[in-house]
Amino acid sequence: MTTIRNRFMDKKSEEEILRRLARLERVIFGAKKERHSPEKLQNFSGPTGGVRLMVSNGFFKVKRNLNDVRNALAKAGYHYGAAQVQTALNRLSRRDGLLVASRQAGKKIYVIRK
């Protein structure tokens, strides 16, 4: 088997094939994205930024509901209505988000994704 490989494919052509394969995979499947890019995590503007600030401060290490989050945001100087904060929490608790959402006693609660 190695003699056939050596006969038909030298090291240079093998590297060329692997390089081309990697290029094709990038085109077909897209470049790998970082799950949580550091630049995006450092942007603390708006309601979503306020929730990201709370995540970075460790606020979501225990289960929190919407009222807990709104009160903590108000203390940090983020004054937004319930709908805006709820939208931010929903966006950050999607499949690839920072948070996990579940229901407890009929209310949504949020905790950091591990």
Task: Read off the pLDDT of each residue in 10-31 and give the average, rounded to a whole number.
Answer: 85
CA–CA gap between residue 48 and residue 62 (Å, rounded): 19
Task: Read off the pLDDT of each residue in 89-106 and give the average, rounded to a whole number.
Answer: 92
Q: How far apart are the first and last CA of the chain?
A: 46
The predicted structure's pLDDT at residue 43: 78
The predicted structure's pLDDT at residue 104: 93
- We report the CATH number of the domain holding residue 57 as 1.10.10.10
| Same domain as 42, residue 22 | no
The predicted structure's pLDDT at residue 33: 58
The predicted structure's pLDDT at residue 3: 54
CA–CA gap between residue 86 and residue 92 (Å, rounded): 10
Counted domains in the chain: 2
The predicted structure's pLDDT at residue 5: 55
| Same domain as 79, residue 59 | yes
- pLDDT higher than threshold 60 for residue 54: yes
Better pLDDT: 37 or 55: 55
| Same domain as 42, residue 10 | no
Instruction: Read off the pLDDT band of 58 (50, 70, 90).
Output: very high
